[in-house]
Structure 1
């Protein structure tokens, strides 16, 4: 090894160690930074339009768009919290009325008639429902506590969620600088990648297209599920269809549970109150149409938009969420896109045998590296 090679190896080792230490330092904020990068990439076309309208004033354009993102994120959350507080009070009134008119006893009778499990429920309800109304009183107190708890939590979330608020403002702070300086950062990163221009362009294009496709697929699938839940509740004459539909949109984004956290308890409630037909319809629609809508729409929209194999997309999405958390829903497909881009580069630059080579000559009659490619 020459002295110059030794210097190069030493520099590479030091550089890798510095990167590792930097990663450790920023690791607590890594999920927030990744979300900011994803949001900046999605909103950057809007930023360029705002920048043109503001005659190239980058700082002002970044402030305007960051405030816009903040309003889009905060307004729906506040609306859902307000609706939740209002609906919890209505729910308490309905539960109170239901218990007072003997709904609990009727629920026991209805559940005992269910095929298969009815014979187990009947003796249990006979022991639980007593004449002095202890259970009814407990349910009334429990529903009252639940509505009060929801109101308290709504207030606490606005006042005391310090960590959530801090992360949100860190995201906005990061987003502002990504909008303002993102073009220069991207250019430096692009130039630093030691690949040919066409290869770099292919990889970055794959990653950008995949990120947009994942966001589009996730949001459209969640919106479709929420609309279906709201329509189903409205058609069955169930309470709070608009609110529960909005909640379903948010819950559909969760990797576990999803909209089943909304229609599942409602189906149990219907069965318990004697509405066997409505409860059965809700279970069937929830388990089939509503439940499958997420998988079908998400993988169809994302796979077709990002041009990724649906089976591979399924595994990297589920595996990404299992390993990285919810951010893995984006990281998994992006890793898959990077692998596919690298494989395409391999197919172009590394022919299988000599018969696949076509060597062109440049103007001086000498072969160049860029003139070697695979004949498809």
Structure 2
């Protein structure tokens, strides 16, 4: 008996696809405020999962106690430094804001210009000639831009506020993922297997290795260097040590190291005549500045071997695309994509023939089919 294929209902297919697309877009729209926080939490949990298991083993096998300790550690690592940074910025900008609002700003004397060798006296004389010719006029030209500058700072404060919200969401999601990590991982692997069978499951494992490599090799190294550098700044008496430590974290994340912040601090100590602490900070900076050459390769090998240019591009691009959270998410996304792409390419063997032989094979006429 001959089976007659029923024609497909094109309208039904199109409406089904449209309905699924609307449902996916609606779900993404609803969870969009939580995506960055959840991605950040997933990165943190994957990178610190072995630490959680170790704590659980030490705390008599109690997962609840281990989750509590890990959450407190995340608060110490993220919330408290950010709070100290914001407090330092507010305290340091208080007198400047008061002077702007009062309208009695006067240009500084800059007497320290005289201490610059060779050209210091000339710079000091030129500056005071400028003041004598129209210091008030200069301030009159600058004041219209004060409002624009204030608006810019308000916008940056909004970015900091969003960062704090994402940080709070990261802590919440991290606690939940720590509590049910095995079930979430099994669900993700099940979904990947449903999409691409064993290849999908292998892709999830490779992604986890890439995330751990970035977190260990980049973020942990940056935090260690910044904390040690900040300790050196605080002990040597450099002002605004908290703010400079945060700048060192950013500098280390973009692979510049802590020296762009430490070297000016050393110069400032010598300039102010504090040669003892300047020498101490100089020696300490040599140790901290070379620490990444030891820590980073060791930690990256624990996760996956990733190109340095990939990490650098991820940090800078993530910062531009997502803000401060992009410092952590950007390199992770690129690292995961690179590992998956590399695994897919390596499924095919390397070409054995030379380029000339390949061109000759293409140039050979093919026999017509009979």
TM-score by length of 2: 0.58
Q: Distance in 1 between matches of 2:28 and 2:298?
A: 34
Q: Unaligned regions of 5+ residues in structure 2, if any?
A: 1-5, 93-108, 133-156, 354-370
CA-based RMSD of the aligned residues comes to 5.1
1:294-342 CA distance string (max 9 Å, x none) = 9867875676552112333333333333333333344334433333333
* Contact 1:54–1:61 (Cα < 8 Å) also in 2: yes
Residue of structure 2 in register with 1:24 after alignment:
29
Residue of structure 2 in register with 1:318 after alignment:
316
SS for the counterpart of 1:254 is: helix
* Contact 1:251–1:258 (Cα < 8 Å) also in 2: no
* Contact 2:213–2:305 (Cα < 8 Å) also in 1: no
1:94-137 CA distance string (max 9 Å, x none) = xxxxxxxxxx88623212x34xx43641313554899xxxxxxx
Match of 1:123 among 112, 122, 125: 125
1:200-223 CA distance string (max 9 Å, x none) = 343223322222222223232342
SS for the counterpart of 2:324 is: coil
* Contact 2:45–2:177 (Cα < 8 Å) also in 1: yes
Residue of structure 2 in register with 1:347 after alignment:
346
User: Deviation at 1:53?
Assistant: 6.5
> Which moves more between the two structures, 3-12 or 318-327?
3-12
Q: Distance in 2 between matches of 1:162 and 1:66?
A: 21
Q: Does residue 217 of structure 2 align to residue 219 of structure 1?
A: no
SS for the counterpart of 2:20 is: helix
* Contact 1:267–1:283 (Cα < 8 Å) also in 2: no
* Contact 2:110–2:124 (Cα < 8 Å) also in 1: no
SS for the counterpart of 1:195 is: helix
> Which moves more between the two structures, 120-129 or 333-342?
120-129
Q: Distance in 2 between matches of 1:164 and 1:14?
A: 34
Q: Closer, same or farther in 2 for the Cα pair 1:277/1:46, shift >3 Å?
A: closer
* Contact 1:320–1:332 (Cα < 8 Å) also in 2: yes
Residue of structure 2 in register with 1:361 after alignment:
none
When the two structures are aligned, how many residues end up with a matched partner?
296
1:279-307 CA distance string (max 9 Å, x none) = x9999999x96997598678756765521
Q: Distance in 2 between matches of 1:56 and 1:12?
A: 48
Q: Distance in 1 between matches of 2:227 and 2:342?
A: 38
1:184-206 CA distance string (max 9 Å, x none) = 22212211122232x33432233
Q: Closer, same or farther in 2 for the Cα pair 1:57/1:267, shift >3 Å?
A: closer
Residue of structure 2 in register with 1:188 after alignment:
187
Q: Unaligned regions of 5+ residues in structure 1, if any?
A: 89-103, 131-156, 356-376
Q: Distance in 2 between matches of 1:222 and 1:282?
A: 21
Q: Does residue 205 of structure 2 align to residue 200 of structure 1?
A: no
SS for the counterpart of 2:196 is: coil
Q: Closer, same or farther in 2 for the Cα pair 1:75/1:229, shift >3 Å?
A: closer
Q: Distance in 2 between matches of 1:77 and 1:207?
A: 29
Match of 1:109 among 91, 106, 114: 114
SS for the counterpart of 2:250 is: coil
* Contact 1:38–1:211 (Cα < 8 Å) also in 2: yes
Match of 2:306 among 299, 305, 308: 308
